[in-house]
Structure 1
Amino acid sequence: MSSAAAFIVGLREHIDDLAATIQLQELLLCDLKEEQRRARKHLNSFVDPMARLPVELLSEIFTLCVSGVARPRINCCEAPMSLLQVCQSWRDVALAIPNLWTRLRVEGLPCRDEFVDMCTAWIGRAKGKPISLSLSGVLNISRNVRRLLDVCGRQLHELSLELQDQGLLDQRIDLQGATFPSLRTLVLKSASRITPICTPKDSVELLRAAPALSECYFHGMRYSRIGFGEGYISPLTHTSLTTLHLGHPEDADVEISKNSAVVLKYLTLPALRDLLVTELDISESETISFFTRSSPPLYRLELIIKEHTASMNWGPGTLAQCLQVIPTLEELRVSGPGCASALLVLMINERILPNLRHLTLWPCSPQRADYALVLALLRSRSTVESFKFMLGSSWPHDEDVFALRELADGRGIDIHVGPFGINYIDLRIKLISVIWDHTNLEWQRFVVWGAWTHSVF
């Protein structure tokens, strides 16, 4: 062997020896670091009382840290992320508690893939438990939104989307082929006052992608008229949905709400028990068709009927035909001008809604209440437990007050007549009792108080 070849062989052997020595030193360094960690932990057990807490108790404390937060955010200053920054033992405990990581709120989804990776790591710590995810703000990065939803996979049980003015839903979130097999609750909110958020097709396809869905809330939605054609949307029979809110009860005070009942034209919901609709923009026949083909065990129904709904052939009398199709109804709330008196007349007949227990009528406009009809209804309905007539300018006469109070006391019915938070019946009873108890005392003072009360209400 030449001297050059021998030199090369020797140099390679020397490199191998150095590599082996480096590997040995690295192992020794790891051992030293582990020894250092154990020593610090041992020291903490003497000088830090928190370090002496049992793991079970520490886990309970960590759980309480996030119990008051609807959905925690990825923020190093907030729990549970802040728990990872204290020490290694706290980090180990926090990462070993799946319930700390089952809820997540993302306020705007950045373009950076690293943020989605952080969300993926968060969801992985839940170790397969059901995930509650909330996305709000700027969600125009369709690829990242879909990627995050896919990461949740079968773990996704609750999903809340709060959308800004950014165009239609399908332009922001790619839902093509999406499936949410374990999703139980869906909330879709809109912060837009003008821009349409989605088409009826978007709403129907969201429901189609979640066959196990039981609760669905569409709040503040504005629908684009794109895709309103009958043949454009494939009808859907959803057998799990029990609660559907097309709007929010606060929309009763809005002249033109931002929700729509048009999706009911394409849905059959045989398990539906709770329905709220704030914009009846479908005809009477289409509504009756929905209830007839669904034949749901409906327990609660709330309808907000606007004045412009008359253009859809809606009226106080036609509502009775819908009510006859849902005899299981126990709780009914109807808001709208002109509906109160007609409903009172109709429901004196016990064959309409025979199981009715709770009735709220909110005319949404000043009108004089017909208390003879109210009394007739309450006397004919042995099942009624509460009755609310939300009026602002219809003060009952004394004889009506006594009759209603007699019903309330005799049958235990909760009766409210007047605006929200003020019951005229209770007020008048209190004033009458003042007259009775103090007829000869401070009469002038009572007259002033009574006049002030009427002027306020």
Structure 2
Amino acid sequence: MQSQTVLIEKKKKITESINLHNRLGSALWRLPTEVLSEIFIHCLPETSHPTSALAPMLLTVICRRWREVAMDMPNLWCRLLLKVCGDWQRKVLCYDSWLKRSRGLPLSLVFHCYAHNSTWLVRNLLRPYINEIVSLAVFAVRLIDKPERMAAYLPALQELTLSTVGCGLPVPTTGHSFSPNLRSLTVIGPLFDLGIISSFNPVWSHLTHVNLAMRHLNAFFHLLHLCFALSSSKICIIHNRTQALEPFTHAKLQALHINSGTNCLPDLFNALSLPDLRILNVSYSQTWHHKEFMAFLMRSNCPLERIFGLGVTMTDEQRAECVALIPSLQTV
């Protein structure tokens, strides 16, 4: 008798679960297309790769209506991660089908390049979409021929990331072929010096963000002279300066993240003025040079809001001095 009661109770719970599922399914089916579209947008992963296990591909196999809605939403198909390896001819059909669904909207693409002839392969794929690509990241995971050539002839390009870590590749030798619309440049791997920075003209004058590794602090100052529109920068200094630094004021830089184990902060603080600085992130400095930093703050007279970073330690007294000098400073 007890066993029969248990079975009846289980059957009841299963029936209730089925009914709830049917009601939910019915409710989802009745959702207006606008609401369903908004839900689909929130389903997108951070990086999109053609796989049936992730949106937007997953959304196309749930039911016919979901597929129709998803296929009719160009903004679901504007981000794509592509792997240049293996059977490229088969992959390119899938990638091209994906990109066609974007219907002319701005595209954000990430390439993981394994093949030696990646540049030629990728440029053939991108040719129909050169006016739509606004963001491009190229990660070279083996020796390939000049990855920066993938960014050439993309007139709408605004953001470019080039990574050649572990590939033994030299830094790109010219910026002349980059789009005049380029605003953000990140180069991971090679070190920039004065010569390479000079060879990149005129691209620097357009940039508002740069993320680079520098051989010396004077190379960073040279970069600041050329990037007069710069509003944010992430810089790694590998060696200390090789010559005296002339005082310099950059009027537009609002966020500076400087990573250096060479203890170059005194030289930086003594020579640089940043009257519009809002955020300062200093990482891996061997010593915090408070006297030079306070002189930098007084000279810059900037609306600083935050100071933070790894390996930087201030005393309570030093924090109080900073807050007293900069009323806008909220976090130290």
Query: If the TM-score is normalised by the length of the shorter chain, which range does it land in?
Result: 0.7 to 0.9
Q: In 2, are the aligned partners of 1:179 and 1:209 still within 8 Å (CA)? A: yes
Displacement of 1:47 in angstroms is 11
Amino acid paired to 2:39 = I
SS of match in other structure, 1:405: helix
Amino acid paired to 2:250 = I
Q: CA RMSD in A?
A: 3.9
SS of match in other structure, 2:50: coil
Query: Which residue in the other structure is 1:249 paired with?
Result: none
Partner Cα separation in structure 2 for residue 363 and residue 89 of structure 1: 54
Q: Does 1:75 align with 2:47?
A: no
SS of match in other structure, 1:204: coil
Q: 1:118/1:96 Cα in 2 relative to 1: closer, same or farther (>3 Å)?
A: same
Query: Which residue in the other structure is 2:97 paired with?
Result: 121
Query: Which residue in the other structure is 2:127 paired with?
Result: 150
Q: Does 1:95 align with 2:71?
A: yes
Select which of 195, 200, 204 maps to 2:175: 204
Q: Does 1:383 align with 2:302?
A: yes
Q: 1:363/1:200 Cα in 2 relative to 1: closer, same or farther (>3 Å)?
A: same
Q: TM-score, normalised by structure 2?
A: 0.72
Select which of 181, 185, 188 maps to 2:162: 188
Partner Cα separation in structure 2 for residue 93 and residue 391 of structure 1: 47
Q: Does 1:270 align with 2:205?
A: yes
Partner Cα separation in structure 2 for residue 144 and residue 295 of structure 1: 33
SS of match in other structure, 1:197: coil
Partner Cα separation in structure 1 for residue 186 and residue 144 of structure 2: 20
SS of match in other structure, 2:35: helix
Amino acid paired to 1:364 = S
Partner Cα separation in structure 2 for residue 209 and residue 65 of structure 1: 34
Q: Deviations over 1:213-254 (max 9, x none)?
A: 22121112x3xxxxxxxxxxxxxxxxxxxxxxxxxxxxxxxx
Partner Cα separation in structure 1 for residue 24 and residue 214 of structure 2: 65
Select which of 172, 186, 193 maps to 1:217: 186
Unaligned runs of 5+ in 1: 1-44, 223-258, 417-422, 424-457
Partner Cα separation in structure 2 for residue 47 and residue 341 of structure 1: 64
Displacement of 1:116 in angstroms is 0.9
Partner Cα separation in structure 2 for residue 47 and residue 357 of structure 1: 49
Q: Does 1:340 align with 2:265?
A: yes
Q: Deviations over 1:140-172 (max 9, x none)?
A: 3434322222132212121111111224426xx
Q: 1:124/1:291 Cα in 2 relative to 1: closer, same or farther (>3 Å)?
A: same
Partner Cα separation in structure 1 for residue 110 and residue 98 of structure 2: 14
SS of match in other structure, 1:132: strand
Displacement of 1:136 in angstroms is 0.9
Q: 1:156/1:60 Cα in 2 relative to 1: closer, same or farther (>3 Å)?
A: same
Displacement of 1:378 in angstroms is 4.7
Amino acid paired to 2:188 = H
Task: Say which structure is richer in helix.
Answer: 1
Query: Which residue in the other structure is 1:138 paired with?
Result: 114
Query: Which residue in the other structure is 2:12 paired with?
Result: none
Displacement of 1:279 in angstroms is 1.8
SS of match in other structure, 2:130: helix
Displacement of 1:299 in angstroms is 3.8
Q: 1:100/1:379 Cα in 2 relative to 1: closer, same or farther (>3 Å)?
A: closer
Amino acid paired to 2:59 = L
Q: In 2, are the aligned partners of 1:103 and 1:133 still within 8 Å (CA)? A: yes
Select which of 130, 153, 167 maps to 1:179: 153
**What does 1:7-406 align with in structure 2 at a 5 Å threshold?**
49=26, 50-66=28-44, 69-142=45-118, 143-169=120-146, 178-192=152-166, 195-201=167-173, 204=175, 208-220=177-189, 222=190, 259-261=191-193, 262-266=195-199, 267-268=201-202, 269-280=204-215, 284=218, 294=226, 296-300=228-232, 303-307=235-239, 314-315=242-243, 318-319=244-245, 321=246, 323-324=247-248, 326-332=250-256, 335=260, 337-346=262-271, 352-353=273-274, 355=276, 364-365=285-286, 367=287, 371-375=290-294, 378=297, 382-383=301-302, 385=304, 388=307, 401-402=316-317, 404-405=319-320
Q: Percent identity?
A: 22
Q: In 2, are the aligned partners of 1:264 and 1:287 still within 8 Å (CA)? A: no
Amino acid paired to 2:229 = P
Moved more, 161-170 or 298-307: 298-307
Q: TM-score, normalised by structure 1?
A: 0.55
SS of match in other structure, 2:206: coil
Q: In 1, are the aligned partners of 2:208 and 2:232 still within 8 Å (CA)? A: yes
Aligned length: 305
Partner Cα separation in structure 1 for residue 280 and residue 222 of structure 2: 24
SS of match in other structure, 1:106: strand
Higher relative contact order (CA 8 A, sep 6+): 2
Query: Which residue in the other structure is 1:239 paired with?
Result: none
Q: 1:74/1:290 Cα in 2 relative to 1: closer, same or farther (>3 Å)?
A: closer
Q: In 2, are the aligned partners of 1:357 and 1:384 still within 8 Å (CA)? A: yes
